[in-house]
Structure 1
Amino acid sequence: MQLSIFASVVTEQTLDPSATAESWIKFVRQYGPIPRNDSAFEEHINKASRRAGVMPIRFQHPLLTDVLSCFNLTEEVRSVVLTGHAGDGKTNLCHRVWQGLGGDPALSDSSAPYIRHQLPNGLMLHVIRDLSAWVPSQGSEWEPEKVDLLTRFSESIHSQNPTEYFLIAGNDGQLIETWKRLPENLAIQKTRLLFEDLLVEDRQQSDGVQLSFFNLSRSSSAVLFDSCITAFLSHPGWQLCFNEGNDTRIEYNEYSPIYINYKRLQDSLLQSRLRKLFELCDYNDIHIPIREILALLANAILGHPKVTDRLMLPTDVRTIIHDRLVPQASIYDNIFGINLTDSRRDSIGVFSALSRFRIGEETSNRIDNLLIYGNTDETLTPYFTKYLANDPIYGASEAYLREQSIYIEGVDDDDRSKGFLPMLASQRRALFFKIAEEEVLELKLWHLTVFSYAGEYLEKVIKPLKTKKVPVERDIVGRLVRGINRVFVGMLVNSDRELFLGSSLHASGARVCRVFEDNISVRPKNGQSVKVDWYNNRPILNVSLSNNHLESLTLNLVRYEFLSRVAEGALPSSFSKECYEDVMSFKSKLLKRLTLRRQEDGSVEEEQHVFQRMVLDDNGNPIPREINFTMPD
C-alpha cells in the first residue's frame, strides 16, 4: 500500500437537507461549556450531529499523517500508542486512521472501544480507541481475553517480526495504571517501564522497539487553535443562519448577538491576539486540548450570563434584544468565560489557563484614563472614539456611558463603583483585542496582562530563535543576566556583563550571598559565555563555565517575566516564590559545576582558605574583597 493512497484523509463538512439554523445552533451549543459526560464526548457529538443533520466540526489533526505512516506497508510497520489529556482528539484520530486504512465504516461508527481490521498484507490491526472504556474498572477482575490481547501487544512491540499490530489510545495516567494492574510478566513489565520512559523523556520511539508513541498533549495549542478556528468558522452550518434568506429574522440579523459575535470572531486582529495567548500557554508549559479550544469558540459566539446554561439559543435572542442585554453577550468577555459561573469557569482548563493572564484585572493609568475620561480629554478622545465610541454595542453602549457618568460625578464611592467597575474590566478585555498593531507600544498593550514582557518574549525571543535562527538582542540577554545576578547575590546588582556566583557561610541558598565564588563572562571568553539558545522547541539560557561545563535554564514565560521585572527593580509577588526557587536551584547546579571545574583544573585550596566578600560600588557592580584565614591544625 502506498502512503499517498491514504495519507490525506479528506474531512468534508456537509449538511443534511433536514438541517436548519436552529438545529445547527443547538448542535454548536453541544461543544460549549455545558454539563455532560466528557468521557463519552465523541459518541455524544456524533449522535448530536446525526440529530441535527450536520457533520461534526472536523479537521485533519497535525499528527494524522505521521500516525498513518506507521502503517505504511511499503515501509516498516509499527504499532502505535496515542496518549495525552482528555479532549486531545485521540478517539477521533483513531477514527481517521481507521478511515484512511479502509476499515469498515459501520465498525468505526459503533460505540465499541475495541475493533479490528485486516491489513492488505494479511496481518491483523487491533484498535483500542478508548482504553478507559475497555479495561475493567478498578477492583474488577480482568477478562482473560483482554489480558491476552494486551500481553500480545507487549510481546509484539519487542519482537523484530511481529505477526499483528496495534493502535491503542488512552490518557497517560490510564495507560500507566492499566499496565500496573495487569498480571505481571516480563513483557508487561518491560512495556510499563517503556511507557514511563517515553513519557518522562518526551520521546516517540525507543531503539529496538516496534512502537511509535505519540503524546498528543505535546502538540502546540496555537497550531491546534489555527485548525480549530478555521474548521469552526468555515462549517457550512453557519450558512443556514447568515444568508440573504434569513436577513429579516431577528435571531440571525445584524442586531442579533449571535450574528455579531460570529462576525467579530472572523476579525483577523482578534484571532491574532487570541492565538498569541495560546502560543504563550505553549511556552509556559500549559497545553490546551482540542475539545477545550472548541468549547471556547462555541462560548465566544453563544455566551450570555442571562440564559439557560449561559449559552444562547435562537429563542433567547428576541428577549435579549428587547431587554437591552446585548452588551452582556460581549465576545471579549465570552473568550475568558466571564458569562459562566465562577465554579464552572474554573473547572474548564482553557478558561483557567487564560485567567492566568489576568486580562481585565491588569491595567495602566493611561488605559484607565482613556476608558474613564477619554470622551472629555482631548488628548485621549481619538482613542476613545476609535475603540469605544465606534463600537456602541460592546464599547460605549448606553449602559456604559450611563455608568461612566455616575462613576465620574457620583458622591458615594461604593455606589458609583458597583455598576461601573465590572464594565471597566470588560472594556480592558475588549481593548486587548482591539488595539491596533501600530499602537501596541504606544498604549502598552501587554500591560493589560500580568505578563508585561509577553509581547517582547514572542517577538524578540521566540520569533528570532525559532524562525530566523538569529541571536537574541544583547540588551535582552543583559537584562536577564542582571535579574539572575540580583537573585543569586541578593543585592541590587547592576552588572549585566558578568554572571556572579555568590554563596553564604550558612548555605548557598541564603537570600543574601555575599561570599564571592566566581564570575562568568557573558561574552564568549576562555570557554565562558551566557546566551539564549533554542532547544527542544523552547528558549533556554545556557551558561558555560568552561568548554566542558555547561548548565541550562528553560526560559518559559513566567521565568522570563520574573527575571525581567527583577532586573528592572521589582519583585512580582504574584509568581515570585516558585520562580525564585527555580532560579536558586539553577544556581546550585552552577555551583556544583564550578566545584567540578576546580577539581579538574586543580584550583581547590586545601589548607589555606581564601574568601572574597562582595560589596557593591556606587554603580551597583560587585567588587570582591579578599579575606584570608588558615584552618587550625
Structure 2
Amino acid sequence: MSACHSNPLVSFLKTYGPSPEADMLSDENVRDALDRFDVAPLEIPAPRLDEMVEALCGDTPRNVILTGTAGDGKTYHIRQFLLGKLALPPEQWPGRDPVLEVELPNGAQLRVIRDLSELEEEEKDAELAGLIACLKGERSDIRYLVAANDGQLLRYFRSSDLAGAPEIQAELARMLRFDRVEGPLDLALLNLSRTWSRDTVERIFGQILDHPQWDEGCEGCPGTGTDNPCPIRLNRALLRGDLGVGSIFRDRIEDVLRLGAANDSHVPIRFLIMLGVNILLGDRTTPDDPMLDCARARVRASRGQYAVCNPYENALGLNVPSARRSGYVVFHQMAALGLGEETNNLLDDALTRGVPEEVARHLFEADLLYGEQLFEPARRAYYVTADRDKADEFRRAIATQRRRAFFRLPDAGDGPASPWRLTMFHHAGLYLKVMEGLEGDGDKTLLDQVTRRLVKGLNRAYLGMMAEESDKLWLAGTIGRTDDTVGRIATVDAISRAAKFENIRLEMGEGAGRPRLRITSKSASGEIDPLDLRPLLFEYLLRVEEGSLPSSFSRQCQQEIRQFALIAAAAFGEGDQDEELNAVHVLSLGSSGQIDAKMLEV
C-alpha cells in the first residue's frame, strides 16, 4: 500500500477532537461529516430515551422538556425519538422551521421545539402561551417536546408577562434543584446533566474502539505491523486491553468520571466522545492542531516519536494548550487529581528500582514502548550523572511514568500500592467501592468498617485530639469562638453507632447519587439531615482518621462538618438557644485514646 494510505474513520473521529470547530459540533454537523467521510455512524446511547417514549406515548401522555448543558445530547434524543419511535422520514428532521408538528400514536399533536433560542421574538409569546396551557393540564390534544439549557429554560418563563409564567418558572426551578422528573405540572422534566451511567461511558468507548472500519480502513497500511507500530493503533490496543493486561486503562478512566459525577462535575456526552478520540489521536507537537491523522502517525512511527502521542498524557489533555485545556470539564476533572505531582515511595521505588517486583511487573509488562523505552534513558542518566539538566529531565520523565502508572496498576485496595495514592484522593478507590456497595446489595463488612472510620475521623475533627473512638459520635464544639482544643464540650449525649434506638449508617443519597452519613435517634426532636459525603469530604475524614490535622487538609471541610454538628445537636432539642441548657459534657482524652466525658450541671 502506498504511503498516502489513509483510513477515513480516523479523519471522521478527528472532527470530535479538542478544537474550536469540534466545540461547536452539533447533531446536524455530525451527519454531514458521516456523508463526507462515508463511514458508519457512532451509535451513541440516548440514556433517557425510554423515559421520553413512556411520557409521550404511554397511557397518559405528558409534555417533555429535555434540559442540560451543551453537548448532553438533547437534539440527539429528539432525533432518536422521531426517527426511531415515530418513524418520521429522515428528510423531515430537523427541517427549516424551529417548531416541528407531528402526530403522536394517540392522535394528539406534538409540537417539537429543538432549541428555544431559535424562536423569533414574535413566536415566543404564542408558543409560551400554548406551552403554559399544556403544562397546567388545560389541554390534552397538544403535547410539547422542548429542548433547552437550564438557564435558558428558566429565563424563557421569567421574562414573560403571560399569566401563569412566574408560577411555572418557580416550579421548574424547584424540580431542577431537587432533580425531580415529576411534579404538579403535566410534565416529565428530564435533566440530561444529572444522568450518570457507567454503561453509557462503556458504550461510547466501545463505539469508538470497536468500530468496524478500523480493520477495513487500515488494511494494507504498513503501520499494522509490529515494528514501529502506528501510534493510533497502539493507543487503541492499550485502551481496548489487547496487550495481555485487560482493560485497566479504560476502567480507571471510567472511575475518574464516576468520581467527578459524585462531585457534581458532569461531562456531556459530546466530551466523553472527545476524550476517547483524544486518547487515540492526541499529538502535542502542533498546538493549533493537536491531533494525529494517518500521515502524521506514519511520521511519528518512522521517527520513533511516541513520547508526543502518549495516550496516558492525552487522557489528561496534555496535548492541548493549557489555556484551552482548562475550558474542558473532562480535562479539569483529570487535572484535579494532581497526577504526576503526587509522590508515593512504594510506587516510585517500583518505577526507579523495580521493587516490589509484582508492582513493577504491572507497570512495565506489555507496555514497553511507553514504559521502559521512554523512561530508561532518563532514569539511567539521572543515576550516573549530577548534571542539573539530567535531573530536570528525570523529574519530567518520572512524572510522566506516575501518570501512566495510575492508568496501568490494578486495584490494590486502600493500601500504599493503590493507584489512587498517586492522586490527591488517596481513598477514592474505597469511595467507589462504598458507592458500589450502596447501589447493590452492599458489602456489609466493608460498609461497617468504613462507617467506623468515618465516625473516628469525625470525633478527631470535632475534638482536635487523637481519639480512638469509632463506636460513638460526639457532636463536640468549643467554648466561645476559639479553636483551642482545651474546653471541648458537647450539649448532647454521644450517639451510638449501633444501639437499640440509635444508628449511624451509610446510605446512598437521592439525586446526586453519592454516599451520605445518616444519624437516627429516638432522642432527636426531628429528622437529622444527613452528612453529604462528597469525595473531598470523604477524603478529609479518612485523612484525619489516619492522623492528619483537621485544619491542615481542608478548612472548607472543617467548617462543613462543624455546621453538621450544630444542626444535628439542635435536632435533639438540647442545642436550642431558646431553651434552658441543663447540662454539658466536658470532653477529654484518656491515656488509651478513649473519650472521657464529665457532666457539668448548669
What TM-score, normalized to structure 2? 0.90
Which deviations, in whole Å up to 9, do the C-alpha atoms of 1:227-257 show, x marking residues without a partner? 2112222322323333xx3243579986110
1:462 is matched with 435
Choose which of 511, 534, 546 in structure 2 pairs with 1:568: 546
2:368 is matched with 392
Choose which of 162, 167, 170 in structure 2 pairs with 1:185: 162
Q: 1:38 to 1:341 in 2, by over 3 A?
A: closer
CA distance in 2, matches of 1:171, 1:38: 16
Q: 1:146 to 1:220 in 2, by over 3 A?
A: same
Letter in 1 for 2:33: A
Shift of 1:541: 0.5
Letter in 2 for 1:302: L
CA distance in 1, matches of 2:493, 2:413: 41
2:79 is matched with 95
Give the stretch that moved more between structures: 326-335 or 510-519: 510-519
CA distance in 2, matches of 1:246, 1:253: 15
Which deviations, in whole Å up to 9, do the C-alpha atoms of 1:75-117 show, x marking residues without a partner? 1111100001111111110111111212242121446543221
Q: 1:403 to 1:172 in 2, by over 3 A?
A: same
1:13 is matched with none
**Contact 2:113/2:146 (CA < 8 Å) preserved in 1?**
yes
Q: 1:127 to 1:38 in 2, by over 3 A?
A: farther
Which deviations, in whole Å up to 9, do the C-alpha atoms of 1:189-246 show, x marking residues without a partner? 2221121111011100113x2110001111115332122112222322323333xx32
1:401 is matched with 376
Equivalences for residues 301-340 of structure 1 within 5 A = 301-307=280-286, 309-340=289-320
**Contact 2:45/2:204 (CA < 8 Å) preserved in 1?**
no
Quick check: 1:176 aligned with 2:161? no
Equivalences for residues 256-295 of structure 1 within 5 A = 256-267=230-241, 268-295=247-274
**Contact 1:345/1:351 (CA < 8 Å) preserved in 2?**
yes
**Contact 2:492/2:569 (CA < 8 Å) preserved in 1?**
no
CA distance in 1, matches of 2:73, 2:362: 41
Equivalences for residues 347-366 of structure 1 within 5 A = 347-366=327-346
CA distance in 2, matches of 1:201, 1:79: 19
2:490 is matched with 516
What TM-score, normalized to structure 1? 0.86
**Contact 1:80/1:213 (CA < 8 Å) preserved in 2?**
yes
Q: 1:445 to 1:196 in 2, by over 3 A?
A: same
Shift of 1:452: 1.2
**RMSD of the TM alignment (CA)?**
2.8
| Ranges in structure 1 where 5+ consecutive residues have no aligned partner | 1-19, 137-141
**Contact 1:327/1:393 (CA < 8 Å) preserved in 2?**
no
1:85 is matched with 69
Quick check: 1:53 aligned with 2:43? no
Shift of 1:545: 3.4
**Contact 1:454/1:561 (CA < 8 Å) preserved in 2?**
yes
CA distance in 2, matches of 1:507, 1:595: 22
Letter in 2 for 1:80: V
SS of residue matched to 2:18: coil
Choose which of 106, 112, 123 in structure 1 pairs with 2:108: 123
Quick check: 1:147 aligned with 2:125? yes
Quick check: 1:233 aligned with 2:209? yes
Letter in 1 for 2:313: D
**Contact 1:221/1:289 (CA < 8 Å) preserved in 2?**
no
CA distance in 1, matches of 2:414, 2:531: 30
Letter in 2 for 1:487: A
1:623 is matched with 596
Quick check: 1:297 aligned with 2:270? no
CA distance in 2, matches of 1:246, 1:118: 50
1:7 is matched with none
**Contact 2:471/2:498 (CA < 8 Å) preserved in 1?**
no
Quick check: 1:581 aligned with 2:525? no
SS of residue matched to 1:395: helix
Identity of aligned residues (%): 27
CA distance in 1, matches of 2:585, 2:474: 12
CA distance in 2, matches of 1:509, 1:108: 64
Which deviations, in whole Å up to 9, do the C-alpha atoms of 1:291-313 show, x marking residues without a partner? 11101000000001014511001
Give the stretch that moved more between structures: 39-48 or 357-366: 39-48
Letter in 1 for 2:175: L
**Count of paired positions:** 586
Quick check: 1:539 aligned with 2:524? no
Letter in 1 for 2:426: S
CA distance in 2, matches of 1:363, 1:94: 47
Q: 1:278 to 1:105 in 2, by over 3 A?
A: same
CA distance in 1, matches of 2:365, 2:211: 33
1:503 is matched with 477
**Contact 1:79/1:166 (CA < 8 Å) preserved in 2?**
yes
1:36 is matched with 21
Letter in 2 for 1:291: R
**Contact 1:527/1:546 (CA < 8 Å) preserved in 2?**
yes
SS of residue matched to 1:411: coil
Shift of 1:573: 7.0
Choose which of 494, 498, 516 in structure 1 pairs with 2:468: 494
Which deviations, in whole Å up to 9, do the C-alpha atoms of 1:529-576 show, x marking residues without a partner? 211123324322111232653321122222111101111111477861
CA distance in 2, matches of 1:111, 1:383: 59
Quick check: 1:25 aligned with 2:5? no
Shift of 1:21: 4.4
Quick check: 1:219 aligned with 2:195? yes
**Contact 1:360/1:448 (CA < 8 Å) preserved in 2?**
yes
Letter in 2 for 1:310: P
2:244 is matched with none
Shift of 1:621: 2.4
Which deviations, in whole Å up to 9, do the C-alpha atoms of 1:3-49 show, x marking residues without a partner? xxxxxxxxxxxxxxxxx944321110111111127455223222222
Choose which of 379, 382, 407 in structure 2 pairs with 1:433: 407
Quick check: 1:194 aligned with 2:171? yes
Choose which of 367, 370, 381 in structure 1 pairs with 2:347: 367
Give the stretch that moved more between structures: 564-573 or 403-412: 564-573
Q: 1:489 to 1:545 in 2, by over 3 A?
A: farther
SS of residue matched to 1:75: coil
CA distance in 2, matches of 1:211, 1:510: 54
CA distance in 2, matches of 1:510, 1:343: 43
Give the stretch that moved more between structures: 34-43 or 284-293: 34-43
Shift of 1:469: 4.0
Q: 1:203 to 1:508 in 2, by over 3 A?
A: farther
**Contact 1:82/1:169 (CA < 8 Å) preserved in 2?**
yes
**Contact 1:490/1:512 (CA < 8 Å) preserved in 2?**
no
CA distance in 1, matches of 2:124, 2:165: 13
Shift of 1:269: 2.1
SS of residue matched to 1:417: helix
CA distance in 2, matches of 1:596, 1:170: 47
**Contact 2:464/2:550 (CA < 8 Å) preserved in 1?**
no
Which deviations, in whole Å up to 9, do the C-alpha atoms of 1:449-503 show, x marking residues without a partner? 21111112222x2222211145454332111011111222333322112111223
